[in-house]
Structure 1
Amino acid sequence: MSEVYMLLKKFPKGGNIHLHHNHVVSKQKMLELIFSSFLYDHLYVKASAPAMWNLDFFLNPPQGWNKVKDNPSYSKDILVKHATLLGVIDMKATNNPTNSDLRWEEMNPLFGVLGSNIINHANFSKIYMNALLQQAMDENVQYLETKSSSSNKLYVLDPARSYLVKNGKRFIDNDLGELELQFTNEVVQKFKQNNPNFVGYKRIINSYRGKDEQYILKNAKKALTLFEKYPDLVSGFDLVAEEDKGYSLLFYLDDFAKMAAKNVSLPYFFHTGETNWPDDLLSSPHNDDPVPTMGNVYDAILLGAKRVGHGIGYVKHPYLMEVLKKKNIAIEVNPTSNKMLGYVADQRHHPAITYLRYGIPIVLGSDDPATFGYDEFTVDWYEAFMSWGLNLADLRHLAFNSLRYSSLSSSEKNVAYQKWKVSYDSFILNTKTIACKQTFQNTSPHIFRIFPQESDTKGGTKIQVFGRNFHVAICKKIICKFGDMKTKGTFVYSHRIICHSPDLSHGNTIHSRVVPLTISLDGGLTYIQNTFTFSYFQNNHLPIPDIFG
């Protein structure tokens, strides 16, 4: 891994608030946890096609399932390969980087390989949850929100005769999946006790957007019940799966109207605008829903979404971008997911950087890192940092946003900010210490241009100095020398320094003056050989605008 990646891994990221619960912990880690537990004896695999594998726990497996234990055909590496998009993606999908249909065709079967069948085992549910929280802390993520269905009910393996017809599975949860939530809360509270810097965790209940209205209404009501019963744990409702192939938000309008009629306050966090198709394209196969995917970018706002997931399509609608900005609706950006699913071919052109610079609040999420096969949250931060030209202020802004636009209460956010700031200050101090120990051999700085090259005699003009190898000035004092007068310089990038022109107006009656401008990167011990001339004038000239910020 690169030094930049390792540094970003240490960076305090605040929270990750766009994650699908069953697809966060790496498949390699999940299998290691299973192989080291009693559950290894009950792990079976069904390989019905090259890209259609499934894993499950049984006492007596159904026909066609093979035991994994001690079978060289089902080693951890082989199972991981068949459980991740990076492991199964074929050349056709690879050679069509913006064909999201091809990517989803290969992604959809993977959700069940090491998914709910495994994670909903009562014992493994706790093991998985603890691993998820530990993964967050290992990557300096202090808060999490994950999305999961309420239909994920816990089970145990029971050898009683009455359960053998069900392959030994005895479900112990109710229809709302409350026991799983209680187990989750138990793990979270214990983890917080052992890790004081960890802020917390919340769950967003989701439903599959390919189902009919009755199904969605039923699940929305479940989400509301859980939201009211577990307000410190459950934070809202979402619709998930491939947006282009699912029903539109408008299709479910009656459902949301019925919820609104109850005067409920269930927060919505809709996946919205996860598409690269034109506004008028009907990509959905549902004949009873003639609404293009892009219609969702309007309806998510009208339905009062607190945040929107992905939001790629908003870049086509400046008016809606302005609405998002004014209403302070954050976009949950998932750059690596968007690339792997064919929505963005080149991260340098991802619309998120436009949103960020325009002032729309964005947060960085990771979507399904384990099932994609890249595993770590830091990958998205690395992709964004390297592709969008981000600086430390941008990274700090994104980390802060992840807490500001989270589902935490106001008091919880205050605690979160304090914990994050402690981590951030420590990161800056440690990073500065490391940076100041760096030595640069055979590296000579050069100046190629300064702008502007003149200033009012009152001084204070910001002078942009462009060149190469300015990083040798890290942790050293930069001096800008205008003739005999010195001012303090500021390091911006390895190719840019800022100087401020000194005040020559006091006691001077000159109308113009030209002085040499030289720069030292080591506190005045030596000066860069390049010398530029700098002119002063009386303040009757037109001011020179600062176009660099």
Structure 2
Amino acid sequence: MAVLLQRPHAAVACLLLYFLSSGLSIPDPRQREALIQLEASMQTGGQMVLTDAEQRLDTLLLKRKLEEMDRAQFPPAMHFFKARDLIRTSPIFNLLQKMPKGGALHVHDFAMVDVEWIVKNVTYRPHCYMCYTDSQSIRFIFSSRWPKALPHCSSWTLLENLRAKMMNTTDFDNSIMGNMTLFTDQDPEAVYPSQDVIWDVFEQVFLALWGLVTYAPVFRDYYYQGLTQFYLDNVMYLELRALLPEIYELDGSYHDRAWTLKTYQEVTRRFTADHPDFFGARIIFTIHRGVNATVMERTVEEAMALQRDFPDIMAGFDTVGREDKGRPLWYFRDALSLPAGRGVNLPFFFHAGETDLEGTEVDQNLLDALLLNTSRIGHGFALLRHPVAKELSRKRGVALEVCPISNQVLKLVNDLRNHPAAALMTEGHPLVISSDDPALFGASGLSYDFYEAFVGFGGIRSHLGSLKELAINSIKYSSLTPVLQEKALALWQRRWEKFVSENAF
């Protein structure tokens, strides 16, 4: 495997010092070229030594990228909902779908499976009831008897009876799908004019899905299908943010969180047995950041117990929900300090800096996440405004989990060429690419986000070495032990070499 050399920050400093002190007035072409090459070596993948076959594939990629940039409509400059069909026709996207991408380290539990599978598979099962809320959303439940009425919801309807009366169920099924995704064929800027509007719909989508995916038989099938969709996109490892809800049975009985985590473990083992070239999955237990300090303390206690009882499947802990409206990490500092105070290893993977606000308590989450010794930073969109956090994360090797499409859809950035990660890639900041909630955005797996990162963030200068380092980063910065990381890298390397040999014409 190619070795990543240490980035030449000292050399850069010496060269810049020379230019500042020399007072030269006539530019030297050799020094100019040295500066250009030195800057290129600092970017993500800039130190990667490519084989002959990789260089041939890299030449093909550059040709394709130049053609992409000449298109009348450049997808990274457009809203993803408008760009998706263009991306699907891209030769680069086709290549990225084939590329072994390593791991997806930032994906949420109930946003990983495309909604068509849910509607066509799950809602057609027996005993599935649906009602309409006052806010024009929908709710579901499976029950062996007529369910109790929900507040602010219409009377329950048994879907198998309702569909039996229809001549054509297509429009009805499409209307259900529309309640389970943010994707729209209309102008997304008009449909979602503000962050408040889109986050409200975003949260309603999760509530609509809840009664379906927390039903025990569906829960197992849903997770297996989610692993399948990532596997088919050439992802070999997954770290899933999961609320670990109480899963219910048809008779209305409930299972506790330990049962939920154990079920994740059992389904993961079954999937890896069925797909030996899939390395596995781990769970990051999450709690909504809107809870109070007492609930957080109780949840951290439970997280420590689960970490002790399920060390193989449990990766750590995080808080989720809209950062701008939720409580900041500092509010929960006592609860989040419990593991360290007791000498318990509970790794943190905090969402932090998923905001375009500046100078608020929320904006300080990046610094507080590092103070709390987070292993990675979810999103970190605001990192460029925090030079101390940026330098600390670099020195500690705390990678950012960058989710390009999510940041654009949730209205943090319009043109992905202007995403903060574009600047971070030029200096080789530790990054991984992930997809957050792909099913809700009309995407799947990781390829769409890799496309936006490679073509949008990277511009002309990103190359095959950039893609290779990003894939390696997804294993290097995972929660796997060093021994397991080596095994995963060896598995990935074999798949990478096969990919290169099959596509380096």
TM-score, normalised to structure 2, is: 0.76
Alignment of 1:138-287 (within 5 A): 138-150=232-244, 152-158=245-251, 169-171=252-254, 173-174=255-256, 177-279=257-359, 281=360
Partner of 1:369: 438
Match of 1:382 among 444, 451, 475: 451
Match of 1:13 among 82, 101, 114: 101
Partner of 2:418: 349
**SS of residue in 2 equivalent to 1:374:** coil
Distance 1:410 1:180, change over 3 A: same
Which aligned segments of 4 or more residues in structure 1 are displaced greater than 3 angstroms?
Answer: 71-75, 87-96
Q: CA deviation at 1:41?
A: 2.0
In 1, the alpha carbon distance for the partners of 2:185 and 2:333 equals 38
Partner of 1:442: none
**SS of residue in 2 equivalent to 1:243:** coil
Match of 1:82 among 143, 154, 179: 179
Q: CA deviation at 1:248?
A: 0.7
Partner of 1:473: none
In 1, the alpha carbon distance for the partners of 2:337 and 2:416 equals 38
Query: Which is greater in Rg?
Result: 1
Partner of 1:426: 498
Match of 2:482 among 410, 423, 427: 410
Q: CA deviation at 1:101?
A: 2.2
In 2, the alpha carbon distance for the partners of 1:91 and 1:7 equals 28
- Higher relative strand content: 1
In 1, the alpha carbon distance for the partners of 2:384 and 2:378 equals 14
Partner of 1:67: 158
Question: Which moves more between the two structures, 223-232 or 357-366?
Answer: 357-366
**SS of residue in 2 equivalent to 1:155:** coil
Distance 1:91 1:310, change over 3 A: closer
In 2, the alpha carbon distance for the partners of 1:122 and 1:363 equals 32
Alignment deviations for residues 306-347 of structure 1 (CA, whole Å, 9 cap, x no partner): 001000111112232111111100000011000000111110
Partner of 1:122: 216
Partner of 1:54: 139
Q: CA deviation at 1:62?
A: 3.3
Partner of 1:135: 229
**SS of residue in 2 equivalent to 1:75:** helix
Partner of 1:22: 110
Alignment deviations for residues 411-461 of structure 1 (CA, whole Å, 9 cap, x no partner): 1111100110111111101112xxx3xxxxxxxxxxxxxxxxxxxxxxxxx
- Is this contact kept in 2: 1:82–1:88, CA < 8 A? no
Distance 1:301 1:395, change over 3 A: same
In 2, the alpha carbon distance for the partners of 1:52 and 1:95 equals 16
- Is this contact kept in 1: 2:289–2:321, CA < 8 A? yes
In 1, the alpha carbon distance for the partners of 2:247 and 2:123 equals 20
- Is this contact kept in 2: 1:111–1:371, CA < 8 A? no
Does residue 334 of the first structure (1) align with residue 403 of the second (2)?
Answer: yes
- Is this contact kept in 1: 2:180–2:209, CA < 8 A? yes
Alignment deviations for residues 493-544 of structure 1 (CA, whole Å, 9 cap, x no partner): xxxxxxxxxxxxxxxxxxxxxxxxxxxxxxxxxxxxxxxxxxxxxxxxxxxx
Q: Give the letter for the 1:153 counterpart.
A: E
Q: Give the letter for the 1:356 counterpart.
A: M
Partner of 1:285: none
In 1, the alpha carbon distance for the partners of 2:196 and 2:376 equals 25
In 2, the alpha carbon distance for the partners of 1:381 and 1:179 equals 34
Q: Give the letter for the 2:296 counterpart.
A: I
Q: CA deviation at 1:93?
A: 5.3
Question: Which moves more between the two structures, 190-199 or 16-25?
Answer: 190-199
Q: Give the letter for the 2:172 counterpart.
A: S
**SS of residue in 2 equivalent to 1:231:** coil
**SS of residue in 2 equivalent to 1:268:** coil
Instruction: Extract unaligned runs of 5+ from structure 1.
Output: 159-168, 282-291, 437-549
**What is the number of residues matched between the two proteins?**
402
Distance 1:101 1:35, change over 3 A: closer
**SS of residue in 1 equivalent to 2:382:** helix
Larger relative CO (CA 8 A, sep 6+): 1 or 2?
2
- Is this contact kept in 1: 2:432–2:470, CA < 8 A? yes
- Is this contact kept in 2: 1:294–1:313, CA < 8 A? yes
TM-score, normalised to structure 1, is: 0.70
In 2, the alpha carbon distance for the partners of 1:367 and 1:265 equals 25
Q: CA deviation at 1:81?
A: 1.0
Q: CA deviation at 1:128?
A: 1.0
- Is this contact kept in 1: 2:109–2:243, CA < 8 A? no
In 2, the alpha carbon distance for the partners of 1:252 and 1:184 equals 28
In 2, the alpha carbon distance for the partners of 1:307 and 1:73 equals 43
- Is this contact kept in 2: 1:89–1:106, CA < 8 A? no
In 2, the alpha carbon distance for the partners of 1:6 and 1:94 equals 30
Q: CA deviation at 1:297?
A: 1.1
In 2, the alpha carbon distance for the partners of 1:32 and 1:430 equals 36
Q: CA deviation at 1:74?
A: 6.9
- Is this contact kept in 2: 1:51–1:109, CA < 8 A? no
Alignment deviations for residues 146-195 of structure 1 (CA, whole Å, 9 cap, x no partner): 01123x1222112xxxxxxxxxx122x23xx1122222222211221221
In 1, the alpha carbon distance for the partners of 2:406 and 2:313 equals 26
Q: CA deviation at 1:361?
A: 0.6
Q: Give the letter for the 1:232 counterpart.
A: D
Alignment deviations for residues 185-222 of structure 1 (CA, whole Å, 9 cap, x no partner): 22211221221110110000001101100111111111
RMSD of equivalent CA atoms: 1.9
Q: Give the letter for the 1:156 counterpart.
A: E
